[in-house]
Structure 1
Amino acid sequence: MTRVFLQPDDLRDLVADQFGTDRRVAALDRLAGGSKKGVYRLGLDDQATAIVYVWAAGENYWPPAPAVPDDPFTDASGAELFAAGHAALTAAGVRTPRLLVLDRDGRYLPADLALVEDAGGMTLETLMEQDPAAAATPLATLGDALRRMHTTRGSCYGKLAAIARGEAPQDRRTEDIIKDRALGHLDASATRDTRLADAHDRITGHVRHLHGEVTAREEYGLIHGELGPDHVLVTPSGEPAMIDIEGLTFFDVEWEHAWLRMRFGGAYSALHPVELDPKRLEFYRYAQILSLIEGPLRIADTDFPNRQWMLDLAERNITKALTAI
């Protein structure tokens, strides 16, 4: 598809309404990294800045794919989910860029839009690479925030907006959803890679074995869903601020920690995690490996601008999946 991104003049009315008619757009830069929504840094003529999120078909690189119907991590994008996630984090005392405007009525664009605080361009990932000592305090603060989230309990699992509407399905155990999700990812990936096709039965057996070791649970914690150090900004004052919050969900906290262990590596222990079920953690870790094969291979078939990065990510996880069996 032909992608058309925002131009400065597209935000003229937004700027006039929110900042005053005497302010002008001096710069509009589309930031790298977004694959489901457009993320832009808006610069004004008085040097002030803000961030604009746009949820539009032309900003979403992900092609559709078969999904488990009650999978709460499917299609975790959109202004409604963003608003629900922002409210939940604020209630839990977790720092995220301040929401200035949320427009779901097409007042400014033929798409949903949010205007948020510009919390800075430094991610925790970059700070950890460039100055590990300076990253220690934001890491500890992030760990405190995660404990507040993960001890915010709910009796239902699912997307926050669906729970609020009373529409979150609750007729299955969470680990059953993840089993079906993992096997679906395997089936899709096996059509793209002969190594996975050859190992399909052995991987399926491994998934079923890990699933069989997990015991039932009926209480869930508030989780981000895919939190890595690239999804945390470090503000100029040194505070960690979570971004990409549309996937905020009530689910098993082991899902979050399987992801955190993978993404934070040796710095994971600095987050001081809550008590976890090791068998559920291991099952979810392997399911995420299969997810990180299927998703990257699927988006690599599109016009996503960093296709090789996705292929390399899939290759690393193919190695992990095969090594485990």
Structure 2
Amino acid sequence: MSWLPLTLLVLGAVLLAEALLARYEVMVYTAGWRTPTGELPQDMPYARGADPDRPPDAYVVYLDGIGKRQPRDTRDGGQLVKALIAGAPELRVLGQVQPYSPLAAPLLNRPVWAWLRHHIGLLLFLHNVMQIFVAADHRYRPLYNRAVGAQIADQLRHAGYRPDSGIPVVLLSYSGGAQVATGAVEELHTRLRAPLLLITIGGFHNGANDLSRAEHLHQLTSAGDRIERVGTWIFPQRWRLFHRSGWNRAHRAGKITVHRLDPATHLGRRSYISPKAWLPDGRSHLDHTTDTVIALIRAQRGGGPSPGVAGRDRPAL
């Protein structure tokens, strides 16, 4: 057998195993066989930023892309979260939520995954990719949304959030984190009755989730982001033809606004959160993204117009 058929056979087996494992976790949660854990490492706070003894202007929950494997890690080493805290000390920021685990279980705390990290690191990313597609699958989506929405609500309560307080909750998501953010809206509204603002950065999601309980969704995108563009092609609910999808209903209600962060890319040295790529005005891509996010949150809190609006979203096709 040549190497190509063998490689395809192994890859197919791995994908099948990952698909089954991804579904297994959400079913275990639904059946109540395991209870999600909300505990964090001893030296890790539930939120950083504004003084916990005083109500912040908003709580920001950062839902990272597929590289998220444990409470501490992010694709950029936490630079975006740090920049938000430094630029907007009135916010409380949570960066520890596990968006790709209905059981809130970090991958690196599991013995098998600890071994895989050192031997086949790509599988860690593949696991989270499969979780995105489980979260988008109409058979599992309500269960997944409920599980991760409950996880976010619990983390917010630990961070000091009080239901019915009227303090906004901002779901700031990167890439596949947008699937989780849009799915968590209904559960968060039920549990916290909080004003919900969504900000997606290169959002990769299927457009099926109901956004009627969200105040607004700001889509940060770029012409150089090919991965986000793929999401608008492969998910029919993002197409204009499917006018009853959650995404298109929100669009018609005027709840979606696009903000261009050209020439940023989805990944690499010119990504949205790169501190090493520079704009003509002297800001890095990280600075540009951080400034935009902070301005949007402050505008929403103050009831003023959103800055830098480049036009309403137009679904593909």
Report the TM-score, using the length of structure 2 for normalisation.
Answer: 0.28
Q: Determine which structure has the larger helix proportion and give its number.
A: 1
